[in-house]
Structure 1
């Protein structure tokens, strides 16, 4: 049932949100010259996939987890995208393709070995990664791997249709700060 909702919501989001995506793309083009950011992430069953987002940092920024990045790398437009969470919109494509869900554990980088190990231990990697979830709406990020994995496991063990909608609504209404960068 959740996969069906993911598919429908992401399809409608991409179709109805196309004008917004296009405007953000053009502004991003003016901001960095390369508005779309692609990065290999850990997917369900540890299968790699390419996550797509709007770029919030300068093009020459080293590819690391957000909590390890420098806040000076974030562009002015990037600050706006992060604050409004609009940088996440292109991930609807990942959801449509079945690589992600709207609700699930945030996909990490393969270099985040401690988090991968903690998630494996708790069965978290059996689920599709998500755009939002319990950890995100409670400001728990990847800087605390054990707490994040525990929170992800708790969310997945209690994930109902009601919780699915609750996390989406909490995210849309501005709860949680998303992927934080130190000094942001």
Structure 2
């Protein structure tokens, strides 16, 4: 029952968000255009509910020659690719705002597992163990407020599974306010390779490199 109500809540909140934030979104768009050449928005192929694919929408925060299908935390030198305005947008998560339109289109939810890149086979397979590919991906989620980019794939998938198991009003509210706190503290954001991800990062990087050959 909550799943049906969740979709209605998503649509209502997305509409309210657009009505309240559209002047702010226009200002962000202008700063992006003034800061660097390229489009305002960035589209990227992601995995949705039932492992269907869709194109996620974000404000562009990186230069147009950045590798398109590699997570930012796996780039050798992310600062080289991230624009000046992009650094601010990423730190505050404002680059995620355009996903309101993905929510309205029925491709995403406000709360849910973050949508994996189409070529993140390791994460997709790990999520299958917990049924995390069977719900709509979210603008934010349980894993996002419990480590985000710092998490190894196995832990991230397990947290996504916990969300699916406990999905409900209380869990969504907890994720929503937890996200606000995480954004204020800038927790879990990793720009470039770190030792914290260990062997998982090295393995995933190798897979990404193969996909470009």
TM-score when scaled to structure 1?
0.93
TM-score when scaled to structure 2?
0.81
Distance 1:183 1:68, change over 3 A: closer
Distance 1:167 1:128, change over 3 A: same
Name 1:42's counterpart in structure 2.
47
Write the distance in 2 (CA, Å) between the matches of 1:104 and 1:78. 24
Q: Which has the higher helix share?
A: 2
Name 1:27's counterpart in structure 2.
31
Alpha-carbon deviations, 1:27-79, whole Å to 9, x = none?
A: 11112232210001011111110100011111110011122123221111111
Task: Select the residue among 82, 106, 114 that pairs with 1:74.
Answer: 82
1:40, 1:51 within 8 Å by CA — same for their partners in 2? yes
Instruction: Give matches, 1:105-116, under 5 Å.
Output: 105-116=113-124
1:137, 1:176 within 8 Å by CA — same for their partners in 2? no
Secondary structure in 2 matching 1:122? coil
Deviation at 1:142, TM superposition (A): 7.6
Name 1:12's counterpart in structure 2.
16
Distance 1:84 1:100, change over 3 A: same
Deviation at 1:151, TM superposition (A): 0.5
Write the distance in 1 (CA, Å) between the matches of 2:177 and 2:190. 20
2:43, 2:55 within 8 Å by CA — same for their partners in 1? yes
Distance 1:17 1:178, change over 3 A: farther
Secondary structure in 1 matching 2:178? helix
Deviation at 1:179, TM superposition (A): 5.2
Secondary structure in 2 matching 1:128? coil
RMSD: 1.8
Write the distance in 1 (CA, Å) between the matches of 2:106 and 2:36. 29
Instruction: Show structure 2 runs of 5+ residues with no match.
Output: 195-213
The alignment status of 1:62 with 2:85, answered yes or no, reads: no
Which structure is larger by alpha-carbon Rg, 1 or 2?
2
